[in-house]
């Protein structure tokens, strides 16, 4: 059969088809069913005249797929997103195109799903209200708070959410939150009170001083995937239980880990693959800091894209 048209799943349809908690469950189910992040295809980065193309291929038992991401540094001056993407989902056996998805919306859904799946045992180990501090004000920042709220619903209340941004007057953030400027004295206070800290920025250097954090703070950093850039300082990485998507990927792409290893006693064997957390192979120690560093991997896209496609065709 020749395919004459491919359904396009818009950003709105991506968001409507799968809740944040359902996306977390899809990631957990895939890891428990045997998905091995270490076997993932590597991300390919291709320099083009006005930016980069990123190709992220993956396969599952039912599908093959690829996310094509464009990075155009000058786009913000044009009123366009710096990063844009589409995802093409194919049938695994025939390689017939099944669907074309808004890639940015898929990324916005799956990235916080991965983060929260990785730290969920620590997140739900207590029942006290959560104070959340988020560095960044973009889709990943708000996506993480939405996923935290959805997953903790009925388990832990969100007592407060504070966003730390460069320009508070220009930030479009959810009602009821607190917004502070990145260079203000309020940042240290927000870090001090935080039970959970999310870093979703384009920063190349640590965005907060971890000396201000609680001993059992949970930190998720997803803003970079380059070995020379980081959002979290060495002090935190050296004392925390460090969770990564995959050891080799983290050693190749995650500056928060790579730089901390150069500056401390943190070693590759100290890194905990998130698969071990989700499957229960590793149990986190209570009352100690937890740090998840994510750089984004191809297997995550196809897991969530499969779940969306299944929901839309059911």
Q: Where are the alpha helices (DSSP H) in the chain?
A: 11-17, 20-32, 103-123, 139-152, 186-193, 234-239, 247-253, 255-263, 274-279, 298-313
Secondary structure letter of residue 36 according to DSSP: -
Beta carbons of 181 and 137 less than 8 angstroms apart: no
Question: What percentage of residues in the chain have a pLDDT greater than 90?
Answer: 91
Secondary structure letter of residue 160 according to DSSP: E
> Could you tell me which of 290, 286, 258 has the C-alpha nearest to residue 272?
290
Sign of CA dihedral 119, 120, 125, 128: positive
pLDDT in the model for residue 243 = 98
In what order do the strands lie in the sheet containing 178-181? 178-181, 158-165, 130-135, 196-199, 218-221, 290-293, 241-244, 272-273
> Could you tell me which of 210, 215, 179, 197 has the C-alpha nearest to residue 289?
215
How far from the centroid of its chain's Cα atoms is residue 260's Cα? 20
For residue 3, pLDDT over 70 is answered with no
* Calpha distance 240→251 (Å, rounded): 17
* Calpha distance 145→163 (Å, rounded): 10
Strand partners, 165: 181
* Calpha distance 84→70 (Å, rounded): 5
Mean local confidence (pLDDT), 218-227: 93
pLDDT in the model for residue 287 = 92
* Calpha distance 236→256 (Å, rounded): 10
Beta carbons of 160 and 128 less than 8 angstroms apart: no
Question: pLDDT digits over 50-93, tens only?
Answer: 999 999 999 999 999 999 999 999 998 999 988 899 999 999 99
pLDDT in the model for residue 1 = 47
Q: Indicate the average pLDDT of the chain.
A: 95
Mean local confidence (pLDDT), 201-205: 93
* Calpha distance 265→269 (Å, rounded): 11
Question: pLDDT digits over 114-150, tens only?
Answer: 999 999 999 999 999 999 999 999 999 999 999 999 9
Q: What band does 4 get if pLDDT is binned at 50, 70 and 90? A: low
* Calpha distance 83→151 (Å, rounded): 27
Q: What band does 169 get if pLDDT is binned at 50, 70 and 90? A: confident
Q: Which of helix, strand or coil describes residue 130?
A: strand
Strand partners, 69: 54, 85
On whether the pTM is more than 0.85, the answer is: yes
| Domains of the chain: residue spans and CATH | 8-107+299-313 (3.30.1780.10), 111-296 (3.40.50.720)
Mean local confidence (pLDDT), 190-200: 98
Mean local confidence (pLDDT), 23-38: 97
Beta carbons of 241 and 220 less than 8 angstroms apart: no
pLDDT in the model for residue 170 = 82
Mean local confidence (pLDDT), 9-24: 97
* Calpha distance 241→310 (Å, rounded): 35
Q: Which of helix, strand or coil describes residue 41?
A: coil
95-98, long-range: CB < 8 A, 24+ apart: 95/64, 96/1, 96/3, 97/3, 97/6, 98/6, 98/63, 98/309
Q: Which residues of 45-54 are buried (b: 16+ CB within 10 A; e: fewer)?
A: eeeeeebeeb
């Amino acid at each position: 059969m020749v395919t004459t048209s491919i359904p396009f799943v818009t950003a709105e349809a991506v968001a409507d088809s799968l809740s944040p908690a359902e996306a977390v469950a899809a990631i957990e189910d895939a890891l428990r069913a045997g998905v091995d992040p270490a076997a993932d295809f590597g991300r390919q980065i291709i320099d083009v005249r006005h930016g980069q193309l990123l190709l992220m291929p993956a396969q599952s038992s039912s599908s093959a797929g690829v996310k094509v991401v464009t990075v155009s540094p000058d786009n913000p001056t044009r009123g366009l997103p710096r990063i844009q993407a589409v995802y093409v989902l194919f049938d695994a056996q025939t390689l017939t195109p099944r669907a074309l998805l808004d890639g940015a919306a898929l990324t916005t859904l799956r990235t916080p799903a991965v983060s929260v799946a990785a730290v969920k045992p620590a997140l739900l180990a207590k029942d006290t209200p959560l104070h959340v501090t988020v560095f960044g004000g973009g889709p990943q920042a708000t996506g993480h708070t939405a996923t935290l709220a959805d997953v903790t619903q009925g388990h832990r209340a969100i007592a407060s959410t504070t966003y730390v941004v460069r320009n508070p007057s220009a930030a479009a953030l959810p009602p009821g939150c607190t917004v502070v400027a990145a260079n203000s004295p309020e940042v240290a206070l927000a870090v001090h009170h935080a039970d959970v800290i999310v870093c979703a920025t384009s920063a190349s250097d640590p965005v907060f001083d971890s000396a201000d954090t609680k001993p059992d703070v949970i930190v998720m950093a997803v803003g970079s995937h380059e070995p020379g850039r980081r959002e979290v300082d060495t002090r935190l990485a050296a004392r925390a239980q460090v969770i990564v998507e995959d050891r080799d990927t983290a050693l190749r792409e995650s500056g928060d880990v790579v730089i901390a290893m150069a500056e401390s006693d943190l070693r590759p064997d100290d890194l905990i693959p998130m698969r071990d957390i989700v499957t229960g192979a590793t149990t986190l120690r209570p009352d100690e800091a937890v740090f998840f560093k994510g750089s984004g991997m191809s297997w995550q896209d196809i897991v969530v894209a499969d779940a969306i496609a299944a929901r839309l065709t059911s």
